[in-house]
Amino acid sequence: MFDSFIRHKADKERQIFIKNCTNFDTPRLESEVFPADCKAETDIVYKDGEDPLKLDVYTPFGCVGAKECFILIHGGAFVYGTKKLDQNFGMHLAVKAGIPVVNVDYTLAPEADLSQMILEIFKAMNYVYIKYGFKKFHTVGDSAGGYLAYVVAVAARSRHIAHRFWVFEKLKGTVESAGLICPGIKNTHKAFPGYYFEKHIDNKIEPQRLPEYAYDLNLIAEHDSDLRVAIVAGEDDFLLEQNRAFKDKVTNAVYYEAKNDGELKMHHVYPIAHPEWPQSVKAIELIADNAVGRK
């Protein structure tokens, strides 16, 4: 009975969240203007099946034979969104960093649990390793995508941690940095979206439980002090305090907290929605420099 109540509450919150995000994202996607100095290859299938998974590759003009790329992971509380949400940001990042950006779709909850999402992103990385020859990766993501960008990076660098997330795909190449835009840091087992992290069968959670650091990234930060991390936050971001606390836990982190400027309010994931804002340009520069300049 109690589990049924939790499930109903989480699903109600999921539906409200999706509705609010759709109302915000629909008009801004219709008005976006992409950078002219970047080529976009879109909807490349990296995982076949009944519901194939796709990715985009954004390559700045003049970039030939790149051996490294960004892996861009969209946000949406693990239950909403597609790579289209981050295309404009991804193309701006490619131009600024001078290397390609691979923008990845993954299966959302509740159809997928957290382990499946991480596994699918690993598969996308292995796909572009083979197809494009990208051997070095820099993960980047916003909100839930920021959470995934960090977990994927740490798991890619530690087989032990990957196995703790029930991910056994062997990653080709190496992950050198992670760029986190207003990342989600803490979730709970019994609330949206953390309720969807593990598989539920017959109202019972399978015995293959995730480690506690799956629900609190502060607990995993000590496992990889060499990963170069860039954390971006904003004055009006509802996760600001979590981001401030997290950057103090990450040994090798650079941090940028954008301030409001008149009508420009630094809301949650502002660089994704408005990559042309001056504050967003600074955030993109920080992530690019963390990847290709801070070696």
Asked if 280 contacts 293 with a C-beta cutoff of 8 angstroms, the reply is no
230's tokens: 């860039």
Q: How confident is the model at residue 294 (pLDDT cuts 50, 70, 90)?
A: confident
Three-state DSSP state, 27: helix
pLDDT tens for residues 59-109?
Answer: 999 999 999 999 999 999 999 999 999 999 999 999 999 999 999 999 999
pLDDT tens for residues 210-235?
Answer: 999 999 999 999 889 899 999 999 99
The alpha-carbon radius of gyration of the chain (Å, integer) is 18
Span 8-22, mean pLDDT?
96
pLDDT tens for residues 230-274?
Answer: 999 999 999 999 999 999 999 889 999 999 999 999 999 999 999
Mean pLDDT, all residues of the chain? 95
Q: What CA dihedral angle connects 155, 257, 58 and 134, to 10 degrees?
A: -30
Give me the number of domains the chain comprises.
1
Statement: residue 205 has pLDDT above 80: no
Q: How many CB atoms lie within 10 A of CB 193?
A: 24
**What are 205's strand-pairing partners?**
200
pLDDT of the residue at 4? 82
Quote the percentage of the chain above a pLDDT of 90: 88
* Better-scored residue on pLDDT, 231 or 5: 231
**Domain at 260, CATH number:** 3.40.50.1820
Query: 């009944």: which residue's tokens?
Result: 50
Rounded to 10°, the helix 87-97/278-288 angle is 60
pLDDT of the residue at 208? 63
Q: How confident is the model at residue 1 (pLDDT cuts 50, 70, 90)?
A: very low
> For residues 288 and 9, what is the distance between their CA atoms, to the nearest angstrom?
39
Domain that holds residue 172: 2-293
pTM for this predicted structure: 0.96
Q: How many CB atoms lie within 10 A of CB 165?
A: 22
285's CB contacts (< 8 A; 6+ apart) are 96
Q: DSSP code of 166?
A: T
